[in-house]
Amino acid sequence: MDPRPGIIKERLKSIKQTIAVSGGKGGIGKSVTSTVLSLVLADAGYKTGLLDLDFCGASTQTILGAKNTFPKEENGAVPITINGVKFMSITCFTQETATPMRGTDITNAITELLAITLWGDLDFLVIDMPPGLGDTLLDTINLMKSNFLVMTTPSKTTVEIAKKHIEVLRQSNAQIIGVLENMSRGEPSASRELAEKFDIPFIGQINFDPKLEDAVGNAEKLLETRFAKEIKSRVAKTLKSL
């Protein structure tokens, strides 16, 4: 018998709320949103963690500009803190090395990472999810009681994949916080219709911020972007009222 699910339950006990930033489609802003959301929550005084579960395409360390991330060993792995955010990613152990993985390896790595990480007391643990409806999504549902923030863009293909994503979450009885549209063009959107169809809150629209790329790699600068302000006013407010 694998003892780790029991250990994970114990480890996650002191986390008030877990938010998985997902959506199914690649390249829609899950990583920048999860990273900036964690910075915004920490900046507002909440005890916040950021967990990167995109093992094959981890990018939150680049967005944060995280260096020397190897965790301290103290009967488990103590995450390093960046701008008030406790940060954990497979890259904390592998650094620059690529980590291609098959399904069972992914499940094993997620289970291990969750079992060893000592988050301590947290108000929020934000999770950056990989694209796709595969193993990581199912493992996150099974191993953690996450609330899912489903991201979309105005693109029809993104909305179609988000619909399937919501269906999988619903079938698994996972909690859905709402639908958030990124790279919005400010028009009435299919994302809102999608949320209404499933009777899920529509959190709002985040605009394309041409200055965001300049701030990538610098947590302080990220907090000053229009993108961060919109994440704060749309998403962080919703989370606090949950």
Ligand X SMILES: Nc1ncnc2c1ncn2[C@@H]1O[C@H](COP(=O)(O)OP(=O)(O)OP(=O)(O)O)[C@@H](O)[C@H]1O
Residues near Mg ion (CB under 5 A): 30-31
Question: Which span sits near ligand X by CB under 6 A: 30-38, 72-80, 139-147, 173-181?
Answer: 30-38
Tell me whether residue 196 or residue 213 sits nearer to ligand X (CB atom).
213
Question: Which span sits near ligand X by CB under 6 A: 41-49, 51-59, 102-110, 162-170?
Answer: 51-59
Tell me whether residue 63 or residue 228 sits nearer to Mg ion (CB atom).
63
Pairing state of beta strands 122-128 and 15-22?
Answer: parallel
CB 179 within 8 A of CB 21: no
Question: Which span sits near ligand X by CB under 6 A: 21-29, 77-85, 86-94, 158-166?
Answer: 21-29
Residue nearest to Mg ion (CB): 31
The b/e string for 149-173 (b: 16+ C-beta within 10 A; e otherwise) is bbbbbbbeebbebbbebbebbeeee
Compute the least distance from the CB of residue 2 to ligand X, in Å. Answer: 28
- Does 28 bind ligand X (CB under 6 A)? Our answer is yes
- Does 59 bind ligand X (CB under 6 A)? Our answer is yes
- Does 31 bind ligand X (CB under 6 A)? Our answer is yes
Question: Which span sits near ligand X by CB under 6 A: 54-62, 87-95, 101-109, 154-162?
Answer: 54-62
- Judged by beta carbon distances under 5 to 8 A according to partner kind, the member of ligand X, Mg ion, none in contact with residue 112 is none
Which residues in the 174-233 window bind ligand X by CB under 6 A?
182-183, 206, 208-209, 212-213, 216, 227
Tell me whether residue 77 or residue 206 sits nearer to ligand X (CB atom).
206
d(CA 151, CA 32): 12
- DSSP E strand stretches across 25-159: 48-52, 72-73, 77-78, 80-82, 85-89, 122-128, 147-152
Residue 193 identity (one-letter amino acid): E
Separation of CA 136 from chain center: 12
- Does 79 bind ligand X (CB under 6 A)? Our answer is no
Rounded alpha-carbon distances, angstroms, from residue 163 to 35, 51, 92, 201: 24, 25, 33, 14
Query: HSE of 209 in the Cβ direction (CA atoms, 13 Å)?
Result: 22
Pairing state of beta strands 72-73 and 77-78?
Answer: antiparallel
User: Site residues (CB under 6 A) for ligand X?
Assistant: 26-32, 54, 57, 59, 131, 182-183, 206, 208-209, 212-213, 216, 227
